[in-house]
Structure 1
Amino acid sequence: MTRKVLSLALMSTALVTSAYAQDATLNIESWRNDDLALWQEKIIPAFEAEHPGIKVIFSPSAPAEYNAVLNSKLEAGSAGDLITCRPFDASLALYENGHLTDLSDLDAMGNFSDVAKSAWQTDDGSASFCVPMASVIHGFIYNKDAFNELGIDAPTTEAEFFAALDKIKEDGTYIPMAMGTNDQWEAATMGYNNIGPNYWKGEEGRQALIKGEQKLTDPQWVAPYATLAKWADYLGDGYEAQTYPDSQNLFTLGRAAVYPAGSWEISGFNTQADFEMGAFKPPVQNAGDTCYISDHTDIGIGLNAASENQEAARTFLAWVASPEFASIFGNALPGFFPLSSTPVELEDPLAKEIVGWRDECESTIRSTYQILSRGTPNLENETWGASVAAIKGAETPEALGQQLQDGLATWYAPHQ
């Protein structure tokens, strides 16, 4: 009898321990505080319904503070189990410092192409440390009502683009294009790296720049600054002091006809604008030219190496790599396009229009994000200033290219 009671007691303890081992609470660090309701109302309930033993808490920080807050938490050992990953070098540094786990052995990573994974891999591709979630695509969003009033078709070439802006300016009802230079990054992100791929031929040029086979003084890297210099005439009075939120408001209030954009604007614009919107690709220089788009790998999610919930976190990451997550995320947050290899049927018409460019154009990513901004001066930040200077006419395009090239050559061996 004693032996039987002891055996039953041990079995009971084992069952309790097993049940306890399956219960876990996962905390997610992120900069996407705009997405809090999406996670709380759609993503997390869908996961928890399938995995009742795992609770998930989404704990975002303010975007501008995320990197500093995350690094402080990681150093203090208080960061969440799951880390939302920015693309390329910022996350690579976290991996190299031992804060992110190698996820190469996660079977679900097979759901992504090499291009999708490249934003969260070591340079040699031997380790993948974040599950890809979504990319954003650059182009131009426009007010269809304004275009219809003025009899303007969406432009496909640069000549048509500037002709459209001229017509809008001449009419005077609308500011032709809503973008300011106060915050700087827009000039580079929605300016230089929006139109630039059509000049340097996307990945061909970007990879050649990384290898040192092309320079920032080459015509294909200088020419976009000359084009940006033409934008100043169409940005409206006081664009120099205009902030990013100012530009968003000018467009959604119907005061501007064109908005140099990233697809991440779609959700906000849908709720704020009371007119029909359309989108057009970065115009090519000549009719019939191959078009290139910045289809930028933007957001992933990784596993904190210090997490005490490794198994539960891997279960969650495998689910994030699933078609179910891709469908929820892609439709709940239109303009953030899932990176999984399984096609997602998008519902939002503007998102569908923009993602359709992938079938028409060659995709690339922002030219400064991989490898080229690891040193000082930081090429990404330098490109902000150069793009603003180009628009304001403060420097010639050739001088800006030379400054950037000189800065890169101070620390990057392939350019020395």
Structure 2
Amino acid sequence: MPTRRFLHAALFLALSCAGIARAGTLVLESWRVDDKALWETVLLPAFERKHPGITVKFSPTAPTEYDTSLAARLGSGTAGDVLACRPFDTSLLLYRRGYLEKLNGKAGMENFAPGSLVAWQTDDGKDIFCMPVASVIHGFLYNKKIFRKLNLQPPATEAEFFAALDTVRKSQYAPLALGTADEWLSHQTVFTNIGPNYWGGENGRRALIAGKAKFTDAPFVAAFEFQARLAAYLPKAAPQQTYRDAQQQFAQGGTAIYPAGSWDISYFNQFPELELGVFAPPLQHAGDRCQISDHMDIGIGINRKSRNKADAYKFLAWLGSQEFADLYTNRVTGFFTLSNHLIAVRDPLAKQMAAWRNSCDSNFRLNALIMNRGLPNMESELWSVNAQVLNGKLGAREAAARIQNGFSKWYLPQQERSHSP
């Protein structure tokens, strides 16, 4: 009998100690492996100074493994307390499976406008399951030294853009640093970079969702035609050239233009001899309203099975603060806060790209919401199709028809329009 009482007491003590060990400790999961040092030396210490007694451990997973491994850990109950959220359907699926907390009305969420929440809310807009953190913006980096030598100005229109490429092609310099071996580049840094100026940004995307427009309509074909024209200016080895190859080619200083995501800025900042400028996606016609791809990239959610939700919500509130928005925007160069806080962006290229938000309409990637939910998967199709267009293997109209045919196979509003008179 005394032995049994001793065992019960020991078990109670062990469970109590486990609870104490857990209290005040949070695990933050993310795919942003490159940010590990920043979280550990800047961001988390800033939070912990204001919240003594709470310790946060940053636990990253390689980007290509994050989605599947996180889902597995959530299913087994071993995931962290606070989770970096992919935008749109990936995180929506986790919420529907009961893995993410509903964040409506939670402290910090008041600092985000409704438009910033779209990537992390249910289709009806009623439930929010991740706090927006940052977006990335697309445009074109250019080598200022080359532009000066060739007496070129940053192009504002399609005509000016291709005239500049023609001038560079006649010189000793290469026009474009761009490869197609990593097919995602063709879609995410070219097609959805220049495309919104052709299909009218949000109006075009919503027309596709409503079944009032098709990819074979003129505005969408025109975006593919822009890409098809780029084929003449690519390196000969473009089909074998990777993302890293293109970065390195541009960094060497002999190429004039690089289709960029704002995240590229931090890489090129390693080369102080490069004198870089940036220009927005060219307008189809002078005087058009400019559109930019300002894509919601990362959010933060709370694991519904976290054993320390009280501290997780304190951390979430801080993530919604001005202090965090300033630190993240200015230390993770090229990632722009989605909060309403007024932030002075210090990096000159990032500052210029952020300013486009004030003069242009912002758009997220065309197919990010709803259009990837069937088979064939539109994201995968767009990767392949756009790479083939850039390689000169597929024409613009054929590319548009392929995407439209795949879309209409499973999306009812597109089927209804296809069969209408």
Q: TM-score band, normalised by the shorter chain?
A: over 0.9
Deviation at 1:21, TM superposition (A): 9.4
Q: Distance in 1 between matches of 2:344 and 2:233?
A: 36
Q: Distance in 1 between matches of 2:177 and 2:72?
A: 37
Query: Does the CA contact (< 8 Å) of 1:26 and 1:80 recur in 2?
Result: yes
Deviation at 1:233, TM superposition (A): 1.5
Which one-letter code corresponds to 2:291 in the other structure? Y
Q: Which secondary structure does the structure 1 equivalent of 2:297 belong to?
A: strand
Deviation at 1:23, TM superposition (A): 3.9
Corresponding position: 1:55 with 2:55: yes
Q: Deviations over 1:229-280 (max 9, x none)?
A: 1111111120110001101111112132111011011111111352111100
Q: Which secondary structure does the structure 1 equivalent of 2:410 belong to?
A: coil
Q: Trace 1:74-223 onto structure 2 (pairs within 5 A).
A: 74-172=74-172, 174-223=173-222
Match of residue 251 from structure 1: 250
Query: Does the CA contact (< 8 Å) of 2:107 and 2:316 recur in 1?
Result: no
How many residue pairs match? The answer is: 399
Q: Distance in 1 between matches of 2:40 and 2:249?
A: 31
Q: Deviations over 1:342-399 (max 9, x none)?
A: 1111111111111111111111110010111011111111111111121122222112
Q: Trace 1:6-85 onto structure 2 (pairs within 5 A).
A: 23-85=23-85
Q: Distance in 2 between matches of 1:148 and 1:413?
A: 52
Q: Which secondary structure does the structure 1 equivalent of 2:59 belong to?
A: strand
Q: Deviations over 1:85-142 (max 9, x none)?
A: 1111111011011111100130321100111011100001110000100011111011
Q: Distance in 1 between matches of 2:353 and 2:99?
A: 35
Query: Does the CA contact (< 8 Å) of 1:48 and 1:55 recur in 2?
Result: yes
Q: Distance in 1 between matches of 2:346 and 2:245?
A: 29
Deviation at 1:22, TM superposition (A): 9.5
Q: Distance in 2 between matches of 1:280 and 1:289?
A: 16
Q: Distance in 2 between matches of 1:340 and 1:56?
A: 22
Match of residue 268 from structure 2: 269
Match of residue 331 from structure 2: 332
Match of residue 322 from structure 2: 323
Match of residue 295 from structure 1: 294
Query: Does the CA contact (< 8 Å) of 2:186 and 2:386 recur in 1?
Result: yes
Length-normalised TM-score, structure 1:
0.93
Match of residue 235 from structure 1: 234
Query: Does the CA contact (< 8 Å) of 1:187 and 1:384 recur in 2?
Result: yes
Which one-letter code corresponds to 1:260 in the other structure? P
Match of residue 378 from structure 2: 379
Q: Name segments (4+ residues, structure 1) moved above 4 Å.
A: 19-22
Query: Does the CA contact (< 8 Å) of 1:209 and 1:215 recur in 2?
Result: yes
Identity, in percent, stands at 48
Query: Does the CA contact (< 8 Å) of 2:26 and 2:54 recur in 1?
Result: yes
Query: Does the CA contact (< 8 Å) of 1:22 and 1:54 recur in 2?
Result: no
Q: Distance in 2 between matches of 1:115 and 1:379?
A: 24
Aligned-residue Cα RMSD (Å) equals 1.6
Q: Which secondary structure does the structure 2 equivalent of 1:272 belong to?
A: coil
Deviation at 1:193, TM superposition (A): 0.3
Q: Deviations over 1:28-53 (max 9, x none)?
A: 11111111111011100000000111
Match of residue 11 from structure 2: none
Q: Deviations over 1:153-176 (max 9, x none)?
A: 10001111111111111102x221
Q: Which secondary structure does the structure 2 equivalent of 1:259 belong to?
A: strand
Query: Does the CA contact (< 8 Å) of 1:254 and 1:273 recur in 2?
Result: no
Corresponding position: 1:310 with 2:309: yes
Q: Deviations over 1:49-85 (max 9, x none)?
A: 0011110111111111111211121122111111101
Deviation at 1:20, TM superposition (A): 5.0
Length-normalised TM-score, structure 2:
0.92
Deviation at 1:207, TM superposition (A): 1.1
